[in-house]
Amino acid sequence: MLAELGYASLEDLTQQVVPRAIRQTSPLNLPVPLTEEAALRRLRQIMGRNKVLRSFLGLGYHDTFTPPVILRNVLENPGWYTAYT
SS3 28: coil
- d(CA 82, CA 85) in angstroms, rounded, equals 7
64 vs 58: CA distance, rounded Å: 11
User: The dihedral of CA 23, 27, 29, 31: what is its sign?
Assistant: positive
Tens digit of each residue's pLDDT (9 = 90 or more) over 27-78: 999 999 999 999 999 999 999 999 998 877 767 666 777 788 887 887 777 7
With CA atoms as reference, report the closest residue to 14 among 26, 24, 28. Answer: 24
| Domain residue ranges in the chain | 31-85
Q: How many CB atoms sit inside 10 A of residue 13's CB?
A: 15
Query: Residue 85 pLDDT more than 60?
Result: no
Going by pLDDT thresholds of 50, 70 and 90, the confidence category of residue 21 is very high
Asked whether 43 and 35 are in contact (CB, 8 A), the reply is no
- The whole-model pTM stands at 0.39
